[in-house]
Structure 1
Amino acid sequence: MPQQFTSATYHSICDELAAIDTDFAAVIQAYGYPPMWSRPNTFETLVHIILEQQVSLASALSALNKMRERVQELTPARILLLTDAEFRECYFSRQKTAYSRYLAEAILNGQINLKAFEQMEDHEIRSQLCALKGIGNWTVDVYLMFVLQRADILPLGDLAIVNAIKRLKGLPKETTKQALATIGEQWQPYRTVASMLLWHYYLCVLAAKKKQKPADI
C-alpha cells in the first residue's frame, strides 16, 4: 500500500519538511500551516477536477454547481442522460462534455472502479485513468493528492506549483521542470505535503498582492 498522510500526521509532516528545508519553515512561520485540502472519492470529484483543467478554480466550481442544480446528484447514469445543449447550459465546453461522458461510461462498464483505487498503487491508478480521453497526469496527480491522500506526488504540470518553487527559491523564470524535480527530491517521501505548503505560500502571496493593489478610482 503506498504511503499516505492523514489529518493526524499532517502537521508533523509539515514540521519534518520545515526541518530539512528552511524555506518551508519560513512559510509556516509567516502564514501558518496549509489547509489539508481533501475531496471525497466520487465520480463528482473527478468531474470537478476535469472542469478545473486549464481554467480558474472559480469558473470550474461555477460549472459544477450549475450541473448539481440540474441533476441534483451527480452520477454517471444521470450525466449520460443529458443532451449537448444541457451540458452547455451548465457551462461545460464541448471537450469537457465529452471527457465527462467518457468517464461516466468507463465507471458504468466497470473499466474504472474508484473504490478499488483506494488499495492500488499510484502507477496502476495513473495507467487506468490516463487511458481515458481527457485525463492526463495533472488530473491524476490532483486525484491522488486530494482524494487518496497519497504522500509523494509533486505535480509539476501545475503552474502554481512551478511558480511557487521558483519564487520561494529565488530561481530564474527559465528554470526547467527537470531542475525543479531535482529540487523536489529532497522532500521525498512527502512531496504531496510539500506541494500543499507551496500552494499555501502561492495563495497567501497572491492574497497579499491583491490587498496592496490600490482601489479603482
Structure 2
Amino acid sequence: MKKDIPFLLQKDAVFQEILNLYGEPYIGARPEGFVSLCKLIIEQQVSLASAKACFVKLESFLGTVTPTTILKASEIDLRNNGLSKQKANYLKALATAVVEKTLDLETLSQKEEAQIKKELTAVKGIGNWTAEVYMMFCLQKENVFPIGDIALQNTLKELYPVTTKEEMLSLAKKWEPQASLATYFFWHYYLKKRNRAPLVY
C-alpha cells in the first residue's frame, strides 16, 4: 500500500504536510479470521488499551479463542472475563455464524468490498465500522473509508473545513482508489500528535 503514497501526495497537499511532520504512516495488518473479528468487536467504542486487556483476559480463560470455545462458555463466563453482556452476545452470534457456515471467513478476501460488508454486517454485532476496519487490516483492501471512526472524523475536522459525514465522504472521493491509505495517514497524524503509538496485539 505504501507504494501508492506518491498518488496521494499528488492528489492532496495535506498528505505531504503529514509526511513532513510525522513520516510515513503505519499500515496496520492483522491475520484474517475469527480471532481478529473478535478483537474488533471488543474494540467497538472502547480504547484499544482496554480492549487489549479484555481480550488477553478472555484468551487466558478460554485457552484459545475459537468459535467452539466461545460457544461452550456461558454468558456469565464471558462477562466475568471482561465482556459486556452485549459483546458477549455479539461474540456468540459470530461464533454461531462461523460454525453454521452462514459466514465463510476464508472466502471473503476473494470478494468485492460491498459483498464483504454485506456478509459481515449480516452478523449481529458487526456494523459498518467493524466490517470496514476488518477489510483494511485483515484483507488489505485499498479503497475503504471507515467514516464511523471517531479519530478519523476528528482529524478531518481539524485538517479540512468539514463538519458533517456527508462532507467528509465527498472529500474522500478524491482519494479513491486509495481511501484506505488516506485513512492510515489520518490515523497516523491523530496518534503522533498525541504522542501515541499504534497498539498491536
Please tell me whether the aligned partners of residues 31 and 138 of structure 2 are also in contact (alpha carbons under 8 angstroms).
yes
Deviations 1:80-118 (A, max 9, x none): 111122111211000000000000000001111111101
TM-score by length of 1: 0.87
Secondary structure of 2:111's partner?
Answer: coil
Distance apart, 1:11 and its partner CA? 2.3
- Equivalent residue for 2:199? none
Unmatched runs of 5 consecutive residues or more in structure 1 = 1-9, 209-217
Q: Distance in 2 between matches of 1:44 and 1:157?
A: 22
- Further displaced range: 148-157 or 13-22: 13-22
Runs of 4+ in 1 over 4 A off after TM superposition: none
Secondary structure of 2:130's partner?
Answer: helix
Q: Distance in 2 between matches of 1:30 and 1:131?
A: 41
Amino acid at match of 1:151: E
- Equivalent residue for 2:114? 123
Structure 2 residue 178 is matched with structure 1 residue 187: no
Please tell me whether the aligned partners of residues 2 and 181 of structure 2 are also in contact (alpha carbons under 8 angstroms).
no
Deviations 1:34-79 (A, max 9, x none): 1110110121110100011111111111111111111222100011
- Equivalent residue for 1:202? 190
- Equivalent residue for 1:164? 155
Structural mapping, 1:30-179, within 5 Å: 30-169=21-160, 171=161, 175-179=163-167
Secondary structure of 1:80's partner?
Answer: helix
Percent of residue pairs bearing the same amino acid type? 36
Q: Distance in 1 between matches of 2:7 and 2:21?
A: 17
- Highest Rg: 1 or 2? 1
RMSD between aligned alpha carbons? Answer: 1.2
Q: Distance in 1 between matches of 2:121 and 2:174?
A: 27
Amino acid at match of 1:89: N
- Further displaced range: 12-21 or 148-157: 12-21
Amino acid at match of 1:203: L
Deviations 1:119-151 (A, max 9, x none): 111111111111111111011010111110111
- Equivalent residue for 1:215? none
Unmatched runs of 5 consecutive residues or more in structure 2 = 197-201
Q: Of 5, 9, 12, which aligns to 2:3?
A: 12
TM-score by length of 2: 0.94
How many corresponding residue pairs?
Answer: 196
Q: Distance in 1 between matches of 2:9 and 2:145?
A: 17
